[in-house]
């Protein structure tokens, strides 16, 4: 949402002093298997060549010359977010979503806006998405509690080869 706010505010050279900003739409839907959150903005979108860069830490798709808080006291990004730290929200949100068995994806229309989709499994359906080394740790005290003993032993045996 923070990323959407910044891009809607900055727009394509948009002067926000006298205009009403387009809304950011948030839709939450619970299905039988997962909960999906859609965040849609009209902030100008991200080019296809730059879409992969949003997953890099400390990278921002906002122009270096654009401060989304400039030009209007109605909405100052730095007051809202607590500072100029940008480029960590989307990568961290995707890591958290994947950790809980879901995902975060972006669909961009350059010149229009971005739709972000967060998919999370319904609680209790999926264990944490952890590396094998953690899931089969000694004592079997973490996310592998549901794993059968034979499966854990087979995984350890395959690693030894």
**Each residue's pLDDT tens digit, 39-57:** 999 988 999 998 888 888 8
Q: Which residue has the higher pLDDT, 77 or 112?
A: 112
**Each residue's pLDDT tens digit, 30-39:** 998 899 999 9
What is the distance between the alpha carbons of residues 17 and 12, in angstroms, rounded to a whole number? 14
- Listed by start position, the domains of the chain span 2-123, 130-161
Q: Which residue has the higher pLDDT, 97 or 144?
A: 97
Starting from the edge strand earliest in sequence, which strands make up the sheet with 113-121, in order? 25-30, 34-40, 113-121, 103-109
CA 91 vs CA 58, 106, 124, 136: distances in Å: 9, 12, 24, 27
CATH class of 2-123: alpha beta
Are 98 and 129 in contact by the 8 Å Cβ rule? The answer is yes
- Whole-prediction pTM: 0.60
* pLDDT(62) > 70: no
**Each residue's pLDDT tens digit, 139-153:** 545 444 445 556 666
Q: For the residues of 24-53, what is the DSSP string, one character each?
A: PEEEEEE-SSEEEEEEE--S----TTTGGG
């Amino acid at each position: 949402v923070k990323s959407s706010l910044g891009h809607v505010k900055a727009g394509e050279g948009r002067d926000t002093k006298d205009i009403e900003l387009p809304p950011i739409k948030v839709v939450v839907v619970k299905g039988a298997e997962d909960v999906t959150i859609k965040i849609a903005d009209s902030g100008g979108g991200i080019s296809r060549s730059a879409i992969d860069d949003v997953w890099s830490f400390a990278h921002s798709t906002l122009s270096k010359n654009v401060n989304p808080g400039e030009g209007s006291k109605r909405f100052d990004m730095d007051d809202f977010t607590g500072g100029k730290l940008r480029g960590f929200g989307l990568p961290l949100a995707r890591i958290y979503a994947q950790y809980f068995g879901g995902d975060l994806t972006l669909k961009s229309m350059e010149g229009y806006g971005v739709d972000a989709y967060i998919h999370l499994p319904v609680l209790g359906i999926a264990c944490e998405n952890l590396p094998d080394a953690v899931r089969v740790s000694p004592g079997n005290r973490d996310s592998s509690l549901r794993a059968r003993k034979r499966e854990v032993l087979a995984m350890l045996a395959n690693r030894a080869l």
